[in-house]
Amino acid sequence: MAGRFITFEGIDGAGKSTHIDALAQRWRDHGQHVVLTREPGGTPLAESLREQLLHTAMDPLTEALLVFAARRDHLRQVVQPALAAGHTVLCDRFTDATFAYQGGGRGFDPHVLATLEQWVQEGLQPELTVWFDLPAAVAAERRAAARSPDRFEQQETAFFERVRAGYQARCEQHPARFMRIDASGTREAVWAELAARLEARGW
């Protein structure tokens, strides 16, 4: 039986990481085997590509190709074997981030991204994508209180509004897969909404 593949998305500062960890703990407590992973990353090769992506200047096509190269390795080494073993895979970002950041944020051609998506994923899609949505200005305030910014986190608020619009477009294209969570409230309020929405699905 194939396991469940769930991805988590949102602009930098949306606060998704703490909720992913809490969800992994909750399902492990219920006896599920949960694999917690992230993109770009999740394998030694993909983690080294992540370092480059986050800290080295490059043109948008190079950026898109590296993101998908990292994804291909991660899918083959980690995600597909885990799903085949029936495990639940929780992935911090996936291809919707590419459409949002490289597509929406950088303005890269989404048709090229869709071609790469097809090559790399061969039809594999998450069963559910939880999108933590909030205005870019609110996310910027939260980021200001956090650690030193990487190449994406240094972008101006207008960049993150384009990223957000990129997520919105993907949400409209894939309404059955997307679960939009209002991430502008307190951490407790966001967790309560997420938990209730998952319980409503019987998860």
Range 9-28, binding ligand TYD (CB under 6 A): 12, 17
Contact segment (CB under 6 A) with ligand TYD among 24-32, 72-80, 97-105, 178-186 equals: 97-105
By CB under 6 A, residue 152 contacts ligand TYD: yes
Site size toward ligand TYD (CB under 6 A) is 12
Contact segment (CB under 6 A) with ligand TYD among 19-27, 73-81, 94-102, 127-135 equals: 94-102
By CB under 6 A, residue 49 contacts ligand TYD: no
Angle between the N-to-C axes of helices 60-74 and 44-55, in degrees from 0 to 180, rounded to the nearest 10? 160
By CB under 6 A, residue 93 contacts ligand TYD: yes
162's CB contacts (< 8 A; 6+ apart) are 104, 105, 107
Range 55-74, binding ligand TYD (CB under 6 A): 67
Closer residue to ligand TYD in complex, CB, 55/201: 55
Q: Identify the DSSP state of 98.
A: I
- Shortest approach of ligand TYD to residue 31 CB, angstroms? 28
d(CA 177, CA 108): 23
Closer residue to ligand TYD in complex, CB, 30/55: 55
Contact segment (CB under 6 A) with ligand TYD among 78-86, 89-97, 112-120, 123-131 equals: 89-97
**3 state SS of 30:** coil
d(CA 59, CA 146): 27
Contact segment (CB under 6 A) with ligand TYD among 90-98, 119-127, 165-173, 193-201 equals: 90-98
Helix ranges (H only) for the chain are 16-29, 44-55, 60-74, 80-84, 95-97, 110-121, 136-144, 157-173, 187-200
Within the chain, what is the greatest distance between any pair of CA atoms? 45
